[in-house]
Structure 1
Amino acid sequence: MYRGSGILNFAQGGFVMVGGYAYYQAVVGFSLPRWLGLVFAVVVGSILGTLVQLLVLKPMKEASALLKVISTLAVLMVLTSGAVLLYGSDLKAAPSLLPTGSIQVAPHAYVGADRLILFLLGAVSTAALWFVYRRTTFGRATGAVAENVRVAASLGHSPERIAIVNWALGAALSALAGALIAPITYLQPQVLAMLVIPALAVGLIANFNSFPIVFAGAIGLGVVESLMARYVSAPGWSASVPFIIVVIVMVLRGRGIPLRSHVLDRMADIGSGKVRIIPTVVVCAVMAWLLSSVLNLAWTNAFTVTIGFAILCVSIVLVTGYAGQLSLAQYVLAGFGALIAARLVADLKWPFLPALLGAVAVTALLGVLVALPALRTRGINLAIVTLGLAVVIYNIVLNNTDYSGGTSGIVVPPIEIFGQNVSGLLSPDRYAIMAFILLVIVAVGVLNVRRGAVGRRLLAVRSNERAAASLGVSVFGAKLFAFGAAAGIAAVAGVVLTFRSFSVVTVNFDTFNSIVVVAMTVVGGVGYVGGGVMGGTLMPSGVSSELFSGIHSIESWLPLISGLILLVILVQNPSGLWQMNVDMVKGIAHKLRRHKAEPPADAQDVRAAEVVKAEPVTAKRLTVSGLRVRFGNVVAVSDATFVVAPGTVHGLIGPNGAGKTTVIDAVTGFVRCDTGTVNLDGADLTRMSPQKRLKSGLGRSFQSLELFEDLTLRENLAIASESWSPLRYGSDFVRPGRIQLDGAALAAAREFDLLGELDLKPGQLSMGHRRLAAIARAVASTPSVLCLDEPAAGLSDPEAQHLAVLLRKLAKDWGMGILLVEHNIDMVLAACDEVTVLTAGAVLVSGSPQEVRHDPRVLSAYLGGGAEEPADAAAPADPRDSSLLEELS
């Protein structure tokens, strides 16, 4: 399925479950022969896969990969909930189609005949799939679609048809597996559905690319688990070690900063983080009144459960909505926090509040450990890793009776705060008010983070890790904070949900419900704190359940209804219910005040910028010597040597594929060079990270702009210019402060005529102003040397010439050294003091623009006469280079 559509299918275990139950229904319910029951299961699976592709994924073809993954989680919820409604949660035995005897494979060694047949079927299926996808036209077309949908379509292949066939085939194979293993494992909805976790883990090892490696990996993990179960008596370790191995492999294989080929997803919309004082006070007063004087016991308990889940959903808003890291471990982390608090209260006799704070601290540390794989993995890979870690934590800790007390839980005394009893059983109203106070504290704190420097950095990392690193943002620090803080908030949720009784039970905080919580947060709106609160209201046993309590068995139907709602939301409005309501309210408010004149938002900025004078940067000389960069066997840059003096513009030109962008990537630390040095005014930067190079005075812009699309231009400039201290990770929860652009940022906005657009997002700017905004953001960080990668791409000739004037002004008035990579030769000749021509990854000639213009070797390089094309050059010279060719010829 992944090869055919590029979508990671978390519902694969659901297809296995459907196949098992379809076989059971056919054989036991319809009394069909067992072989016919197997055929029935395969047909049902293929139809189901086709329907999911047509009804869910096809309408979402323009959505981000993350939202598509979440849609498969919704499908898993729907399938699992439907199976529970139809067949219940009890184990069911299905008659086996395969022989159940044993076969002696070695002296004193026996293997079940059904296991051996399954192994052979797996081997045959692997060989058949390898042949189909490597040797047939359909297989090659599938690979083409997976690599580039548009190119495959231009060659006459239908991506939709290929996706349908692959989803039907993948679902049919899953259903076949379910029908064959159901008699061995018995039928239970969540058990079969969660088989997707080891399957995805094995797929990760093989990069979802090699059928033989997947088969070998599955056998290997199964052997490891069996050996662990035989020789290790500690509970949970036999099922956990395989996932630990997968996590280690992914961390070793990953990258800290993604390559420029990394595909960026458009994420869900994000709230502004503004706290509306009057509405907040009113809501708090009404809730306090309802909980203390109005609601009966049933409603009070329902609100308490909803509040607990709302806190948990807000933690997902922080780590997934703001930081863009899909964590499927939050519910398990909530259970871990509850366990720590219970042990502190029951064993160490801590009072409740210190125990709560202790649980938050310990769980935050665990969250940081969960975040370690996020430092080198991202996207769907990270989702699988966090789900695997959730399995590990649940198996080893939460489901271990030695730690958690099992289904009996840990007995805790009644809660007292400042001498007042707030027990959930003895004083449910006080407990609910306490829970609501915790929700308000958490919600306001997360909103403050969004408005502060930390929130801007989280959104920068979510939007574009490479661009964030180029502006000095610690990508690792942002991810560690997001996971740690979200884990601490999850601990608060776990305590609220479990301390309502005298026994804290954590075995219910399982992996499947971690998926459900994420899904409900997306329904509410994963980019909004209000969306998190709304997601909490949709969880079972809360307000929604109580609201429809008059409907028979509503509690059983709620997961299915929620899954269907999630699918509709993802298809119609991926930003969630909260955004839909916000848009509706904004529309009404806009109509009411449409005749009122509003003062220009940029007036204060204009006045401040008028008195700002651009201060010269610290003058530093960039010296690049013998730079060599290799990707595998391809040498992209063989020998790059040049100098960028302070206050000068140095052009770097050459045919497409000459290695110009790779030079900038190597100079600024985004790719590692094999040999050579990068020296800035005597300091060796060769092995420094991009963040440290920026601190030393070396900045850059990007060919593809890589602006932070979720942030306004003001916020983009603030990230580049504002002072930063790690203490902000704590202080922003309480006092985020306002954005105060410094003199350099205001001067940059003035120079590039962007003062009137500071409160617009990049998507609202014209292409020309987007390019200027990208340069202004880089200038706002006041680097001594600025590397610009094709800043004039897409600009008209007048715009390019205006940009050349601005670059000369930066060099003269700001004292910056500028390394300019550009195909627009007219602009290069107008702006540069010196030009270096690169071909085949090496310097061909360097000199003044006039000297380069009349050098016959340059013409030969551009026309390809006598100059060897570089290994990575596949495209002809850019048509914008025609002006130079005309002059030279």
Structure 2
Amino acid sequence: MEQLLLFALLGLGPGALIAGMALGIVVTFRGSGIINLATGAVAMLAGYAFWALQSDHFGLSLGPAASLAGALVAAAVTGLLSEYLAFRPLRNAPPLAKLAASLGLLLTAQAAVLLGFGTEPRQMQSLLPDTAVTVLGAIIPVDRFILAGAVVVLTLILIALYRWTRFGLASRAAAENEQAALLAGLSTKELSLTGTLMASVVAGGIGVLAAPIVQLDSTTLPLQVVPALAAALFARFTSLGIACTAGLLIGVLQSVLSYLSTQTWFPTDDGNALPGVQQLLVFAFMTVALFLRGAELPGRGDETQQRLPSVPVPERLRRTALLSAGVCVVALVVFPFGFRQALTNSLIGAVIVMSLVVITGFVEQISVVQLALSGTAGFLLSHLTADAHIPFPFSPLIAVVAATALGVAIGVSALRVRGVSLAVVTLAAALAMEQALFANSSFGGLGGVQVPSPELFGISLGTDASFRGLDSSEPSPVFGFLVLAVTVTIGLYVANLRRTSLGRQMLAVRSNERAAAAAGINVRNVKVAAFGISSFTAATAGTLYAYNFSSVSAGRFTALASLGLLAFAYVGGITMVSGAVFAGLLSTEALIPHALQEWFGISGTWALLFAGVSLILTLVMNPDGVAGARHRSKREKRLRRAAPTDKSGPSDQADGQIQQAAEVTG
């Protein structure tokens, strides 16, 4: 019992960090309506700024007070840049665009830290006392109590600020009805800016205080946003008190689980405690939060109606598919091995993004778990081929069906959740699968597992096939042809899905679920079908990935990689197959990153920085993505060519009919 109490009280430190981030998330949402995934990145930047100012990294060696002030200024500047460069331009954009913008900020912050400080974790000098006190026989460092107390005091201050000050009343009024707030003379932009600055300073301050307790690197602090999102979700992104309490409770429960994992009765994996239990706890916490607090986020009275990206009817599919396939066939033969591999990676990336086109573009179910489903199929394929010796094509089919069943199960469990709420929950699910499933040596393993090359009737279809292209090097174009055939088949199916009755029902559900149900559409069945198609597509990409690299490793299916995939999908165009193709060209180790590395020396961290900045710029300049902009430009050209020179009544009527047709197809 003494040890249990010890670990529970030790959890107050990490719990204070989670609670502080949750406060920042709630404050940001109150001001701008954005769920800021970069809150943990702000804490990370503040922690590194504090370390650099104290350790003479920038030629300065300041004292603790001055370093803390500099770190808070760095956090405030980060919030200021976030507001003016991302949040304010996207204030009336679709929720997915806002979520992707915060992801762009996260990627940019990570790249900046890696470029400035490297990959090694930094040891920070704590600002808090290093003494200990005895509580019921357990010796507890006093900094845990100070951190928890500081967060509680900060929560009370914020509650008083929002309840009894003019700023708080104005913020609540703007959240309820922005148009009425504008008519009353309130500046909603200034309220949003103030909220973002407050949230950044809160996250930065708690990051500096808690970094010595956790770890200061480019991954640990940013990923603490996941349990913070669980606490904020439990508070419905409005209640500061509940967010603080839930954050502290999550930290305590995670610490208790760490203690329980040391017991002899705790399940083990290869002699070690079963991994991922803490992440599973966070996922379970989110599930309970949705059940108790409701599935939807609180509505906001925004100034203008949020507009979803258009879903145009595809045109000239066969001609486009044949031309594209022909170009790829030639490229797979004549490209040198590096670019041939990059082209194959691009095709696999396009298939994964097509799963997001179905689930997010057609139904607006913002799911982040698709890459995890790909990893599940890849690991299953390895076990089926290497262990069970099931031959091709039966092994990939079984792996795809099993991963699809898992995806449908996740979809059924989240039927009441949609939009950004689903993104938050599936992010926790992706992190739980990464830690509990892929890091488990009995299923995955951090070192990776081997996947034998596919063979059919004794003929190799893998990267080691006998035909090696013009340069006679691996990977063989034969496997590229196989990937191309799968990509074209799935691409044609997804594009034609828009034309079918099911596709139209998906768009109706996306537009208004209640209206769709009133029109006789079974919303539940439509969502389940979307999850099934999307999961099947993602799982297929996972098996292709496994064959492509002849192995599967957990490092390629991380939660952060899932967020990056969603970002690339939105940049390309989340509602169109052509957008998925463009996103595939941008994905990890694809053609565009490979060309940047070969021609300009831009690789690794610089590519990450390029991805973050380009994501923000694309979202601000064109929230519909690259493919959406291209379609809109083509439609405007057709309308200009069709516009009659005669301004008589019949011509005006014809022009109106053309405009209506364009709106229907767009």
Q: Deviations over 1:685-704 (max 9, x none)?
A: xxxxxxxxxxxxxxxxxxxx
In the alignment, the residues of structure 1 paired with residue 533 and residue 645 of structure 2 have an alpha-carbon distance, to the nearest angstrom, of 42
Aligned to 1:290: 331
Give 2:498's aligned amino acid: R
Task: Kindly indicate whether the alpha-carbon contact (under 8 Å) linking 1:435 and 1:496 is maintained by their aligned counterparts in 2.
Answer: yes
Aligned to 1:99: 129
Task: Kindly indicate whether the alpha-carbon contact (under 8 Å) linking 2:317 and 2:492 is maintained by their aligned counterparts in 1.
Answer: no
Give 2:338's aligned amino acid: A
Aligned to 1:226: 255
Identify unmatched segments of 5+ residues in structure 2. Answer: 1-27, 262-272, 466-474, 647-655
- Per-residue deviation, 1:470: 0.5
Pairing 1:277–2:326 present: no
Q: CA separation of 1:547/1:585 partners in 2, compared to 1, >3 Å: closer, same or farther?
A: farther
TM-score under structure 2 length normalisation = 0.86
Q: CA separation of 1:469/1:760 partners in 2, compared to 1, >3 Å: closer, same or farther?
A: farther
Aligned to 1:135: 164
Task: Return the match for 2:104 from 70, 74, 90.
Answer: 74
In the alignment, the residues of structure 2 paired with residue 85 and residue 403 of structure 1 have an alpha-carbon distance, to the nearest angstrom, of 35
- Per-residue deviation, 1:89: 2.3
In the alignment, the residues of structure 1 paired with residue 353 and residue 636 of structure 2 have an alpha-carbon distance, to the nearest angstrom, of 27
Instruction: Determine helix, strand or coil for the equivalent of 1:273.
Output: coil
- Per-residue deviation, 1:589: 6.0
Q: CA separation of 1:366/1:577 partners in 2, compared to 1, >3 Å: closer, same or farther?
A: same
Pairing 1:390–2:430 present: yes
Q: Deviations over 1:334-393 (max 9, x none)?
A: 111211111111221112322221122111111112213431122221111111111121
Instruction: Determine helix, strand or coil for the equivalent of 2:192.
Output: helix
Aligned to 1:612: none
Pairing 1:348–2:376 present: no
Instruction: Determine helix, strand or coil for the equivalent of 2:319.
Output: helix
Task: Return the match for 1:90 from 120, 124, 131.
Answer: 120
In the alignment, the residues of structure 2 paired with residue 188 and residue 257 of structure 1 have an alpha-carbon distance, to the nearest angstrom, of 32
Instruction: Determine helix, strand or coil for the equivalent of 1:185.
Output: coil
- Per-residue deviation, 1:279: 2.7
Instruction: Determine helix, strand or coil for the equivalent of 1:104.
Output: strand
Aligned to 1:267: 308
Instruction: Determine helix, strand or coil for the equivalent of 1:183.
Output: coil
Q: Deviations over 1:372-429 (max 9, x none)?
A: 343112222111111111112112101212210322x122222213432122245531
Aligned to 1:581: 630
Q: CA separation of 1:341/1:494 partners in 2, compared to 1, >3 Å: closer, same or farther?
A: same
Aligned to 1:439: 487
Task: Kindly indicate whether the alpha-carbon contact (under 8 Å) linking 2:639 and 2:659 is maintained by their aligned counterparts in 1.
Answer: no
Pairing 1:414–2:448 present: no
- Per-residue deviation, 1:596: 12
Pairing 1:10–2:37 present: yes
Q: CA RMSD in A?
A: 2.7
Task: Return the match for 1:49 from 79, 84, 95.
Answer: 79
| 1:485-634 aligned within 5 A | 485-548=533-596, 549-586=598-635
Q: CA separation of 1:199/1:435 partners in 2, compared to 1, >3 Å: closer, same or farther?
A: same
Range moving further from structure 2, 379-388 or 84-93 = 84-93
Q: CA separation of 1:366/1:231 partners in 2, compared to 1, >3 Å: closer, same or farther?
A: same
Task: Kindly indicate whether the alpha-carbon contact (under 8 Å) linking 2:181 and 2:188 is maintained by their aligned counterparts in 1.
Answer: yes
Give 1:53's aligned amino acid: E
Structure showing greater Rg = 1
Pairing 1:374–2:422 present: no
Aligned to 2:46: 19
TM-score under structure 1 length normalisation = 0.65
Task: Kindly indicate whether the alpha-carbon contact (under 8 Å) linking 1:520 and 1:538 is maintained by their aligned counterparts in 2.
Answer: yes
Report which structure shows greater RCO (CA 8 Å, sep ≥6). 2
Aligned to 1:311: 351
In the alignment, the residues of structure 1 paired with residue 181 and residue 298 of structure 2 have an alpha-carbon distance, to the nearest angstrom, of 25
- Per-residue deviation, 1:555: 3.2
Instruction: Determine helix, strand or coil for the equivalent of 2:169.
Output: helix
- Per-residue deviation, 1:467: 0.6
Pairing 1:117–2:146 present: yes
Identity %: 29
Pairing 1:320–2:347 present: no
Aligned to 1:636: none
In the alignment, the residues of structure 2 paired with residue 590 and residue 560 of structure 1 have an alpha-carbon distance, to the nearest angstrom, of 39
Pairing 1:484–2:519 present: no
Instruction: Determine helix, strand or coil for the equivalent of 1:406.
Output: coil
In the alignment, the residues of structure 1 paired with residue 484 and residue 573 of structure 2 have an alpha-carbon distance, to the nearest angstrom, of 20
Task: Return the match for 1:300 from 322, 340, 352.
Answer: 340
- Per-residue deviation, 1:574: 0.9
Give 1:346's aligned amino acid: A
Q: CA separation of 1:757/1:181 partners in 2, compared to 1, >3 Å: closer, same or farther?
A: closer
Task: Return the match for 2:208 from 179, 193, 201.
Answer: 179
In the alignment, the residues of structure 2 paired with residue 455 and residue 444 of structure 1 have an alpha-carbon distance, to the nearest angstrom, of 13
Instruction: Determine helix, strand or coil for the equivalent of 2:151.
Output: helix
In the alignment, the residues of structure 2 paired with residue 99 and residue 364 of structure 1 have an alpha-carbon distance, to the nearest angstrom, of 52
Aligned to 2:440: 400
Instruction: Determine helix, strand or coil for the equivalent of 1:111.
Output: strand
Task: Kindly indicate whether the alpha-carbon contact (under 8 Å) linking 1:523 and 1:569 is maintained by their aligned counterparts in 2.
Answer: yes
Pairing 1:451–2:499 present: yes
Give 2:583's aligned amino acid: G
Identify unmatched segments of 5+ residues in structure 1. Answer: 598-753, 765-889
Q: CA separation of 1:577/1:757 partners in 2, compared to 1, >3 Å: closer, same or farther?
A: closer
- Per-residue deviation, 1:755: 10
In the alignment, the residues of structure 2 paired with residue 472 and residue 370 of structure 1 have an alpha-carbon distance, to the nearest angstrom, of 25
Higher helix proportion (structure 1 or 2): 2
Pairing 1:245–2:293 present: no
Give 2:178's aligned amino acid: V
Give 2:134's aligned amino acid: Q
Higher strand proportion (structure 1 or 2): 1
